[in-house]
């Protein structure tokens, strides 16, 4: 056998061996026979334990489209009492559960995520926003684009003092304000020894909490504008007071009602046009309430109806109780 022939045979054998090794290695990655044995199967692994859905079932349709859900992202730390409290409250409080149900994503109105502050596998998501406090709650529109640019921060809330209702109201208020303005929206590892991930994953079980209580009332840091939590001051046109001008003449309650109406109209106009408001919604609401109370003092009090006196029937002889009792016994 010539030298060249020997070389070619050696090369061919080496190539053949290489192909065989690659083929064997690749065929190990997915056990195709096992896949074929499963047939038509949708197995829903619901976390822990064996459930009925873990058994082989007939083909099951995919769940409904949930791309139209809003997003609530909570950025917290496992070492913060406030974050732990917020997480717990969100799993229990009816006001927060109505917005997002962390324990039951399929029934949740919004998609809810709890991101651990400093988790490198997720930190890049928040590069365009400033996370200065924890817990931070970020509200975003759905990714299907039905409410404008899905990257838009509808509101960024920080702090939590256990007032879940207030937090829920602030989220609702922000979503309501955003929806109202929607038309203007511009729009490598080694396998030797212990295998450690290339980042520190979020803890499975939250470690013991710091002693310090870092709770603070919820406040909005974005957008930095005055958004009513839930209730706008609404005052209707003072028809009754106007009528009193024509009938009785000028009265203090009528003048106050007219002033309130004009002030509310002006304030709502300033709010809509983005002008500066001199009073917060809460202060404004209490001023209006005070004026209304003041006006109420001048209202004539309606006359109280006289109590109807029980009729006293005079009898010459008292009725015999014994006789009546006897009668009752017989009819009973």
Alpha carbon distance 208, 80 (integer Å)? 9
Identify the residue among 52, 188, 303, 315 touching other proteins (CB under 8 A): 188
Q: What are phi and psi of 129, to 5 degrees?
A: -125, 160
CB of 223 to other proteins, least distance (A): 6
- Considering only 2-10, 184-192, 275-283, 287-295, which stretch makes contact with other proteins by CB under 8 A? 184-192
**Stretch 139-168 residues interacting with other proteins (CB under 8 A):** 140, 142-154
Q: Which of residues 191-230 bind other proteins (CB under 8 A)?
A: 191, 194-199, 201-205, 222-223, 225
Under the binding rule (CB under 8 A), the answer on residue 280 touching other proteins is: no
CA dihedral 193, 195, 196, 202 (to 10 degrees): -130
* Bond from prior residue into 223 cis (ω within 30 degrees of 0): yes
Our finding on whether 73 is near other proteins (CB under 8 A) is: yes
Identified binder of other proteins from the candidate list 83, 96, 97, 138, rule CB under 8 A: 138
Positions in 241-270 near other proteins (CB under 8 A): none
Distance of CA 247 to the CA centre of its chain: 51
Residue 48 binds other proteins (CB under 8 A): yes
Task: Report the residue from 189, 248, 313, 325 that binds other proteins according to the rule CB under 8 A.
Answer: 189
Type and span of the H or E element at 318: none
CB of 215 to other proteins, least distance (A): 24
Q: Give me the least distance between CB of 288 and other proteins, in Å please.
A: 24
CA angle 14, 29, 46 (to 5 degrees): 175
**Smallest gap, in angstroms, from Cβ of residue 24 to other proteins?**
10
Q: Helix 164-180 vs helix 81-92: angle between axes, to the nearest 10 degrees?
A: 70
> How many positions of this chain bind other proteins (CB under 8 A)?
100
67 binds other proteins (CB under 8 A): yes
In the range 4-33, which residues lie near other proteins by CB under 8 A? Answer: 25-32
Q: Which of 11, 165, 179, 279 binds other proteins (CB under 8 A)?
A: 179
User: Torsion angle of alpha carbons 33, 37, 42, 46, nearest 10°?
Assistant: -80
- Is 282 exposed, middle or buried (CB count within 10 Å of its CB: 0-12, 13-18, 19+)? exposed
Instruction: Name the DSSP letter for residue 62.
Output: P
Angle at 70 between CA 67 and CA 75, to 5 degrees: 120
Shortest Å, Cβ 291 to other proteins: 29
| Angle between helical axes of 239-247 and 252-272 (0-180°, round to 10) | 140
Binds other proteins by CB under 8 A, chosen from 186, 234, 314, 320: 186
User: Taking CB under 8 A as the rule, does residue 61 contact other proteins?
Assistant: yes
Smaller CB distance to other proteins: residue 11 or 35? 35
The residues in 94-133 that bind other proteins, with binding defined as CB under 8 A, are 98-99, 105, 108-109, 111-113, 115, 121-122, 124-129
Q: From the CB of 162, what's the least distance to other proteins, in Å?
A: 22
| Residues with Cβ within 8 Å of residue 55, at least 6 apart in sequence | 43
- Shortest spacing between CB 276 and other proteins, in angstroms: 14
Shortest Å distance, C-beta 230 to other proteins: 9
* Terminal Cα-to-Cα distance of the chain (whole angstroms): 130
Number of neighbours of residue 186 by Cβ within 10 angstroms: 6
């Amino acid at each position: 056998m010539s030298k060249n022939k020997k070389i070619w045979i050696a090369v061919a054998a080496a190539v053949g061996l290489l192909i065989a090794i690659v083929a064997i290695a690749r065929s190990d990655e997915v056990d195709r026979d096992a896949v074929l044995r499963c047939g038509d199967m949708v197995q829903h692994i619901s976390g822990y334990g064996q459930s009925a859905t873990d058994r082989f079932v007939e083909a099951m349709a995919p769940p409904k489209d949930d791309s139209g859900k809003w997003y609530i992202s909570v950025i917290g730390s496992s070492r913060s009492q406030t974050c732990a409290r917020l997480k717990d409250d969100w799993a229990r409080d009816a006001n927060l559960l109505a917005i997002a149900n962390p324990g039951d994503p399929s029934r949740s109105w919004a998609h809810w995520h709890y991101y651990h502050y400093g988790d490198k596998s997720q930190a890049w998501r928040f590069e365009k926003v400033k996370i200065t406090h924890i817990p931070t709650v970020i509200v975003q529109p759905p990714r299907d684009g039905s409410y404008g640019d899905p990257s838009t921060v509808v509101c960024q809330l920080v702090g939590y003092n256990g007032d879940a209702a207030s937090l829920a109201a602030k989220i609702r208020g922000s979503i309501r304000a955003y929806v109202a303005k929607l038309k203007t929206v511009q729009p490598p590892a080694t396998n030797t020894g212990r295998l450690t991930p290339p980042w520190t994953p979020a803890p499975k079980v939250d470690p013991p909490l710091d002693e310090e209580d870092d709770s603070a009332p919820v406040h909005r840091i974005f957008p930095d504008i005055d958004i009513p939590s839930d209730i706008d001051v609404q005052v209707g046109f003072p028809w009754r007071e106007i009528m009193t001008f024509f009938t009785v003449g000028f009265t203090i309650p009528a003048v106050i009602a007219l002033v309130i109406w004009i002030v509310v109209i002006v304030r709502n106009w300033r709010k809509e046009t983005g002008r500066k408001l001199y009073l917060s919604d809460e202060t404004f609401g209490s001023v209006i309430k005070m004026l209304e109370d003041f006006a109420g003092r001048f209202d004539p009090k309606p006359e109280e109806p006289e109590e109807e006196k029980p009729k006293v029937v005079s009898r010459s002889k008292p009725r015999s109780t014994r006789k009546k009792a006897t009668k009752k016994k017989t009819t009973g």
